[in-house]
Amino acid sequence: MAAKAENVDILGVTVCAGNVSINQAVDNALMTLELSGCDAPVYKGATATYTGKKRETFSVFGKDGMGDAGLIHPKRKAEKQSAVDFILETVKANPGEVEIIELGPATNLALAFDRDPETMKQVKKYWSMGTTGFGSGNATPVAEFNVYHDAEAYKVLTESGVEITAIGLDMMTNNTLFTKTDLDALEKKGGLSEFVSKSFRALYEFNKDESGNSFADCPDGVAVACALWDGYLKKTESCHASVITNNDEAYGEVILYKKSFTYDTQVTFDNYNFYIATETESDTFKNKLFALLEE
């Protein structure tokens, strides 16, 4: 979506290990960019979580993270520079101009904040596909995958003092979900549309088999739409975000304290710099996306 957008210059794509290995994640990014007609560089990032602890998760998108359809064979390779070095160098060279969209675990960003917090505070805007919003989770009942995979890293990000606009799982409304009819129609069109369709087939089958839900959801796409499409993100709620890192069943939960709400405990905070999406133009999502894939 970003590669096809006219109002975006992708300075680079950084990846980290998440629901697939670092090398697989790099190849997936390179292949997606290649088919989208974009030569933006890709940088390898963290191969483990912020603390080094492993979280037992698996890829609902198939073993290769892209539907196990034999789609991934990029012509290019990752850059030699590390993801963290690239992030810091790029922000230093463009203070107040770079926007970062975080679509996976926040490990690379946390490491960059550790290295040079002042530079990271010069980012123009941070977008995050993270948290459950005010709904339920997908990694656990209270945790969304990107946060759950590395909650310690997400805690570094939320406690850094920067403003973050987050799009939670509760923004995956019914009219943003890919149905079998959608996927079949995309596959018939060939090209990038077919690539997207096949990439989501494993997720569709997983949802159908495990929970009886005949759809594939695309939270990353909805988050990018919020960042890139004028008017798509209609409302946000200013909150203080408290990330739970206790090694128990609440791990990865993000408690959102609304600035506008008076809690019985009278709890207040010094900052409410976490802006969570509460309303979007969701009925336009699929039509705009499907049209973009054909351009």
- The total number of structural domains that make up the chain: 1
Q: Is residue 229 one of the residues assigned to a domain?
A: yes
What are 47-77's pLDDT values in tens digits?
999 999 887 777 889 999 999 999 999 999 9
List the domain range (segments joined by +) for residue 175. Answer: 13-294
Q: What is the pLDDT along the chain (295 residues), one digit of tens a residue?
A: 999 998 899 999 999 998 899 999 999 999 999 999 999 999 999 999 999 988 777 788 999 999 999 999 999 999 999 999 999 999 999 999 999 999 999 999 999 999 999 999 999 999 999 999 999 999 999 999 999 999 999 999 999 999 999 999 999 999 999 999 999 999 999 999 999 999 999 999 999 998 888 999 999 999 999 999 999 999 999 999 999 999 999 999 999 999 999 999 999 999 999 999 999 999 999 999 999 999 8
Q: Where are the beta strands (DSSP E) in 103-219?
A: 125-129, 164-167
Residue 257 is predicted with a pLDDT of: 98
Q: Is residue 177 part of a domain?
A: yes
Q: What is the pLDDT of residue 227?
A: 97
Beta bridge partners, 102, equal 128
In this structure, which amino acid lies at residue 279?
E
175: in domain: yes
- CATH number at 125 reads 3.90.245.10
* 94-114: burial string, b at 16+ Cβ within 10 Å, e else: eeeebebbbbbbbbbbbbbbe
Neighbouring-strand partners of residue 244: none
* Structural domain includes residue 43: yes
In a domain, 270, yes or no: yes
**What confidence score (pLDDT) does residue 273 get?**
97
What local confidence, expressed as pLDDT, does residue 75 receive? 98
Establish if 251 belongs to a structural domain.
Answer: yes
Neighbours of 9 (CB within 10 A): 9
The pLDDT score that the predictor gives to residue 193 is 97
- Structure-token pair, residue 294: 């054909």
- Inter-helix orientation angle 83-93/107-115, to 10°: 60
What gap in Å lies between CA 149 and CA 141, rounded to an integer? Answer: 14
For residue 3, tell me if it sits in a domain.
no
Phi and psi (nearest 5°) for 250? -90, 0
Q: What is the pLDDT of residue 11?
A: 98
Q: Does residue 7 form part of some domain?
A: no
pLDDT in tens, 261-288: 999 999 999 999 999 999 999 999 999 9
pLDDT score of 211: 86
3-state secondary structure at position 246: coil
